[in-house]
């Protein structure tokens, strides 16, 4: 039986603010048959859920497209809800019924933001960390049948109607390049409004717009005034019957939130609460008239990424008393978010909390790695029974919370950690026979959760939390396994392109909070265009295309991709060797000089290697977009840079000029080594590992690729050995030290319990978690097919090794769930796999013995270019084979 499910518009379920002129629809199929391929489909769009008022029907369309099929009807009206449904037929003659309807709402007219930005007259507001409260009473003649609020802010806001919170987004409107883009959010508020008097209210905090940013203590980076802009629209059918835009008729005041800063925490005095302030009948005569703040409304654009929201709640697992006598709650997991608590006491009593990721070697509360971030909560009781509190406009990276003050007996059950991050559905599950690897997967996932906070941040705890491009570039391959990340990266890449310099250079961080202030940091020169960092402009769009097959996004980002490669060409010697400018290089590699962050691999080598890599990816992007002339140009450029790399950095006998692990890794993975010398370079890489007791010394640029370099060049055994090492330095060393996220430094905490540094030592920093891409693709055996992006085709090729006896991986792709489970008993391997309808797989067996396939469940294996492989359609299959006794694994 054929069914259609999981309908989406522009990658999202039931999205508000769709801006595409021709929105695209996606759906998944389920069937109890094998080898199911969609042969026909039909889409209907209407303005009512019963589809009486149809605006478009595709008719019966021949084809297998079920991902991003475009609308082609008449122009859609702005600010309107449309319903859509899908019907499909397959190659077996089965016909589905109509799917359950879904819907999307179009955005406001482009450039149509007309509401004023309103704030409060606050002396020296640039230096004020106190949020402002705004309210406006209005009257409706009837209870509405259709009402929307559109809202945004200079700062971060919470919106209320008649005393109730509107929506559940946190930190709206999020962090964008406010100089070019400020997102607005859309809320269905029909159920919150009543006939008669109503009140709209908001609290606006400093946020990223005017609060303190970076370790340099910059304030008011984008502006000095917090402000709200909102528009309430009530409709009868398609006609607007009530329209209320923010203006000077709003009233303004300060309230119980005395202080709120992202890095430093929040101070709240419950004695100052204005009960009923967002409800009708409240006396606001003591409030002042709101003031108009200037902001170019042309920058206001619809929300185009997922909301930040509360995701999970974790209880305290332990109450500790440290050697210093500190009372510390342990939540068992390093996380991003805040603590919610309940308390009883008299008016004026306080609850004071501090947050930390780790305890020091003696077991004491440790906050030195937070640098200037105070990460402190102070709540002053009003003294009326049980009071509950959670912060509004701050977040922390922590596992441990010191309770500095708390009235009465301290009960751990009164405290709950609330996990907060961008809302992205988890798409991958992984487990294997090695518990330490399972914990590493857990740590990689939680590192991503903690740093997917509207932008891909580097860390969530200290005075930084910036969208470092290098971290995003190395991790996107792993992130897009772990979660449905397409809209998250779409939003961030639009900001990256908007921040790109006129010469094609890319800032170190996006949004760019460092240009103009970086000169105050002696360790870093300039504020843009480091190799491996700026390459996010090319690597991230291409990876997103491989995983989600969104040609429109690739086309949108292509000018940015091209401008970055041309920036490198303009700054490279003879357009080929990039040996100019400042580079982070192989950042925080263990082969760095004592006290230095900069790894030993020469910058001109890493920069030229990445230049070749990006040029070739750009050529692939041009090919995917049908730009044949550009494809030829950049393919030729990539090959020329690779040739120049060989001439400059590889001797005629195949020896690399730089004897570092990262130099060998990049040369191998980026296909810069002549085929005749690959074995020599691989041997040299293994020798470098042996010189370090089998350990890696790589940093940010080498680590993501080191296991891949070994496995792709005949040394799968050494890739497994490296991954499974448990002593320092290694991934599993961190696990055995009790880590629940990935660390910034291999030696963040040394074997003797001492810390690497107080200056830059995050214990939740996802970059080294980029090894996840190799784990899921090699051990898990599940990789995208580069010839059929978006998992329309998948490569299923587990490579057992390292003494592992089984692994199971499941990935929810654009076509549905893909699963692969293998078990190994000495030389015998049993595989079970499942492929969703309308998708297919290339099943490749790892180093099989001759004539080894003993059970194929109908799959026909053949020798394909030295590999034993079969093509599988949808369905579930079982395969048994034997591994060659000579296999290294």
Q: Are 17 and 302 in contact (CB under 8 A)?
A: yes
Domains of the chain by start residue, with CATH? 3-105 (2.60.40.10), 117-303 (2.60.120.260), 309-421 (2.60.120.260), 428-779 (1.50.10.10), 782-882 (2.60.420.10)
The confidence score (pLDDT) of residue 716 equals 97
> Would you call 437 helix, strand, or coil by DSSP?
helix
Q: pLDDT tens across 32-89, in order?
A: 999 999 999 999 999 999 999 999 999 999 999 999 999 999 999 999 999 999 999 9
* Residues forming the active site: 464, 744
SS (H, E, C) 785-817: CCCCCCCCEEEECCCCCCCCCEEEEEEEECCEE
Residue 850, pLDDT score:
65
For 389-440, write each residue's pLDDT tens digit: 999 999 999 999 999 999 999 999 999 999 999 999 999 999 999 999 999 9
The SS3 call for residue 632 is: helix
* 667-715 pLDDT, tens digit each: 999 999 999 999 999 999 999 999 999 999 999 999 999 999 999 999 9
pLDDT of 520: 52
Residue 817 CB partners (closer than 8 Å, separation 6+): 810, 811, 834, 836
Check residue 522 and give its pLDDT. Answer: 53
**Tokens of residue 44, six digits:** 């209907």
CA–CA separation, 458 vs 451, rounded Å? 6
pLDDT above 70 covers what percent of the chain? 99
What is the pLDDT, as a whole number, of residue 20? 83
Each residue of 193-237: pLDDT tens digit?
A: 999 999 999 999 999 999 999 999 999 999 999 999 999 999 987
Average pLDDT, the chain: 96
Per-residue pLDDT of 557-613, as tens digits, reads 999 999 999 999 999 999 999 999 999 999 999 998 887 889 999 999 999 999 999
pLDDT of residue 448: 98
Has residue 521 got a pLDDT over 60? no
In this structure, the number of other CB atoms found within 10 A of the CB of residue 236 comes to 12
**What does the DSSP assignment read for 645-679?**
HHHHHB-TTS-BSS-SHHHHHHHHHTT-S-GGGHH
Q: Which of 619, 486, 472, 614 is closest to 547 using CA atoms? A: 486
Tell me the two tokens of residue 790. 């978006």
Query: Which band of pLDDT confidence, cut at 50, 70 and 90, is reported for residue 525?
Result: low
Whether 29 and 38 have beta carbons less than 8 Å apart is answered as: yes
pLDDT band at residue 255, thresholds of 50, 70 and 90? very high
Q: What is the pLDDT of residue 854?
A: 87
pLDDT at 257 over 60: yes
- Give the pLDDT band of residue 524 (cuts 50, 70, 90): low
Separation between Cα atoms, residue 737 and residue 760, nearest integer Å: 19
């Amino acid at each position: 039986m054929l069914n259609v499910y999981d309908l989406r518009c522009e990658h999202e379920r039931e999205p508000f603010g769709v801006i595409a002129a021709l929105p695209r629809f996606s759906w998944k199929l389920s069937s109890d048959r094998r080898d199911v391929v969609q042969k026909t489909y039909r889409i209907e769009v209407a303005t009512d859920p019963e589809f009486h008022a149809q605006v478009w029907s595709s008719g019966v369309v021949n084809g297998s497209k079920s991902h991003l099929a475009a609308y082609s009807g008449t122009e859609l009206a702005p600010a309107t809800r449309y319903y859509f449904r899908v019907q499909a037929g397959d190659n077996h003659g089965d016909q589905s019924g109509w799917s359950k309807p879904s819907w999307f709402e179009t955005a406001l007219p482009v450039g149509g933001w007309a509401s004023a930005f309103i704030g409060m007259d606050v002396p020296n507001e640039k230096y004020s960390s106190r949020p402002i409260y705004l309210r406006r009473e209005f009257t409706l003649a009837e209870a509405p049948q259709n009402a929307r609020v559109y809202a945004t802010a200079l700062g971060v806001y919470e919106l209320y109607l008649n005393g109730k919170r509107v929506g559940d987004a946190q930190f709206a409107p999020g962090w964008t390049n406010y100089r070019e883009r400020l997102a607005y959010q859309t809320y269905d508020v029909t159920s919150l409004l009543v006939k008669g008097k109503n009140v709209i209210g908001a609290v606006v905090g400093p946020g990223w717009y005017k609060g303190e940013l970076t370790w340099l203590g910059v304030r008011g980076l984008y502006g000095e005034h917090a402000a709200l802009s909102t528009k309430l629209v009530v409709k009868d059918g398609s006609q607007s019957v009530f329209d209320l835009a923010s203006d000077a008729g709003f009233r303004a005041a300060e309230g119980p939130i005395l202080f709120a800063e992202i890095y430093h925490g929040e101070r709240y005095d419950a004695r100052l609460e204005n009960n009923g302030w967002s409800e009708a009948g409240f006396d606001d005569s003591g409030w002042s008239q709101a003031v108009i703040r200037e902001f170019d409304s042309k920058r206001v654009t619809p929300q185009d990424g997922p909301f930040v929201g509360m995701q999970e709640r974790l209880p305290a697992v332990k109450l500790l008393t440290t050697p210093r006598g500190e009372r510390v709650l342990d939540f068992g997991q390093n996380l991003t978010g805040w603590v919610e608590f309940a308390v009883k006491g008299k008016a004026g009593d306080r609850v004071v909390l501090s947050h930390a990721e780790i305890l020091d070697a003696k077991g004491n509360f440790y906050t030195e790695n937070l640098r200037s971030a105070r990460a402190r909560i102070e709540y002053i009781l009003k003294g009326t029974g049980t009071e509950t509190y959670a912060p509004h406009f701050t977040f922390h990276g922590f596992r441990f919370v010191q309770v500095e003050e708390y009235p009465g007996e301290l009960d751990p059950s009164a405290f709950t950690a609330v996990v907060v991050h961008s809302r992205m559905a988890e798409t991958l599950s992984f487990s294997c026979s090695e518990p330490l690897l399972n914990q590493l997967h857990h740590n990689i996932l939680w590192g991503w959760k903690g740093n997917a906070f509207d932008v891909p941040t580097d860390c969530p705890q200290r005075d930084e939390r910036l969208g470092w491009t290098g971290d995003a570039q190395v991790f996107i391959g792993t992130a897009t396994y772990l979660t449905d990340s397409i809209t998250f990266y779409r939003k961030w890449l639009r900001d990256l392109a908007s921040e790109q310099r006129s010469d094609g250079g890319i800032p170190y961080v996006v949004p760019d909070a460092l240009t103009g202030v970086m000169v105050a940091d002696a360790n870093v020169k300039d504020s843009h265009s480091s190799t491996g960092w700026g390459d996010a402009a090319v690597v991230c769009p291409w990876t997103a295309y491989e995983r989600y097959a969104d040609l429109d996004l690739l086309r949108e980002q292509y000018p940015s991709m091209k401008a970055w490669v041309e920036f490198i060409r303009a700054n490279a010697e003879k357009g080929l060797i990039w040996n100019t400018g400042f580079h982070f290089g192989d950042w925080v590699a263990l082969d760095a000089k004592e006290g230095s962050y900069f790894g030993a691999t020469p910058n001109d080598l890493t920069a030229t290697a990445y230049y070749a890599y990006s040029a070739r990816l750009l050529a692939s992007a041009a090919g995917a977009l049908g730009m044949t002339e550009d494809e030829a140009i950049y393919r030729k450029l990539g090959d020329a840079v690779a040739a120049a790399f060989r001439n400059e950095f590889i001797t005629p006998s195949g020896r690399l000029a730089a004897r570092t692990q990262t130099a060998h890794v990049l040369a191998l993975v980026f296909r810069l080594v002549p085929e005749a010398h690959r074995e020599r370079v691989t041997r040299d890489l293994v020798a470098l590992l042996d010189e370090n007791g089998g350990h890696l010394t790589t940093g940010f640029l080498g680590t993501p690729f080191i296991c891949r370099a070994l496995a792709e060049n005949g040394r799968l055994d050494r890739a497994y050995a490296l991954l499974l090492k448990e002593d320092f330095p290694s991934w599993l060393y961190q696990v055995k030290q009790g880590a629940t996220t990935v660390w910034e430094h291999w030696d963040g905490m040394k074997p003797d319990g001492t810390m690497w540094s107080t200056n830059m030592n995050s214990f939740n920093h996802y970059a080294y978690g980029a090894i996840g891409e190799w784990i899921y693709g090699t051990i898990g055996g599940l990789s995208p097919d580069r010839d059929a992006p978006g998992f329309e085709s998948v490569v299923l090729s587990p490579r057992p090794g390292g003494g592992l006896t089984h692994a199971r991986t499941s990935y929810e792709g654009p076509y549905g769930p893909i699963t692969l489970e293998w078990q190994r008993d000495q030389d015998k391997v049993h595989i079970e796999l499942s492929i969703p309808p309308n998708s297919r797989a290339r099943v490749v067996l790892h180093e099989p013995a001759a004539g080894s396939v003993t059970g194929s469940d109908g799959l026909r294996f053949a020798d394909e270019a030295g590999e034993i492989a079969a093509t599988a359609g949808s369905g579930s299959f079982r395969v048994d084979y034997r591994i060659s006794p000579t296999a290294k694994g």
